[in-house]
Amino acid sequence: MDMTWLDAEERAAWLRLVAVVELLPGVLDAQLRRDAGLSHFDYFVLAMLSEAPDRRLRMTALAQRTNATLPRLSHVVQRLEGRGLIERFPCPEDRRATNARLTDAGWDAVVAAAPGHVDTVRTHVLDPLTRSQLKQLRTIGDALLTRLDPDGVMSELLEDPTVSSRG
């Protein structure tokens, strides 16, 4: 196979994207751990449940929405369940499936964590960009997602404006 190296412009764009992808999760995680005692993934799980009808989803649906494997999600949900933020129970429609539901304490945790999280997202991602750059970022994200998420599993979340409001 004949390999074509990145040209200077491609390399510069790629390395900046890699830097953002590497640095941003740590920034988001550090703020949430410090201010809310949650990892970024914990918060994402709670937020996805907070936006679901009756604050409840099947574990398989929650795994899809969070792009998690079932074992990883089960471990995190078990930990959050131990803190009283989530409860699991058999799905009434299919006893073989398990549902996860956000408890009142879980709702309170999301509501309490959201302002600091949104402020961090604004400070580190949104505020440095102009409105035109934000539109470009959205367009770029859409273009990348057509390849990274061809089945639209994560992309479905982008259609709901309430998802973007909680970060």
CA 98 to chain centre: 21
- Residue 153: per-residue pLDDT: 82
Q: What is the pLDDT of residue 165?
A: 44
d(CA 140, CA 151): 18
Stretches in the chain below the pLDDT threshold 70: 1, 159-167
Q: Quick one: pLDDT at residue 94?
A: 86
Tens-place pLDDT, residues 23-38: 999 999 999 999 999 9
Contacts for 50 with CB less than 8 Å, ≥ 6 apart:
102, 106, 107, 110, 166
37-166: which CATH architecture? Orthogonal Bundle (1.10)
Distances (CA, A) of 79 to 45, 144, 166: 12, 33, 22
CB atoms under 10 Å from CB of 98, counted, come to 17
CA distance 59 to 74: 8
Q: Where are the domains of the chain?
A: 37-166
In angstroms, the Cα distances linking 43 to 17, 51, 100, 113, 121 are 24, 12, 15, 8, 13
- pTM for the full model? 0.86
Cβ neighbors of 25 (< 8 A, separation 6 or more) are: 40
